[in-house]
Amino acid sequence: MIRASGTAGFQGRPDTVASSRLTNAVAASLAVAALSLCLIVTLTVLSTKATMAMGLPV
């Protein structure tokens, strides 16, 4: 079986599949989501540490 040239791999010309505005919007939304996730994790860790430092009520 003979493979036709340029049909697989990275030899072919890249085609634009989305506009640059859409790509930038997706990148910005992913950056905001990552930042908010880091903020949520940080607040969770800090509140857990504060709760553990208080001790159990008797």
**Separation between Cα atoms, residue 46 and residue 36, nearest integer Å:** 15
**Separation between Cα atoms, residue 37 and residue 43, nearest integer Å:** 10
Residue 53: predicted pLDDT: 83
**Separation between Cα atoms, residue 20 and residue 15, nearest integer Å:** 13
- Please list the ranges in the chain whose pLDDT falls under 50: none
Residue 30: predicted pLDDT: 98
55: DSSP letter: -
40 membership: H or E segment, kind and range? helix 20-54
Residue 1: predicted pLDDT: 52
**Separation between Cα atoms, residue 45 and residue 42, nearest integer Å:** 5
Residue 18: predicted pLDDT: 75
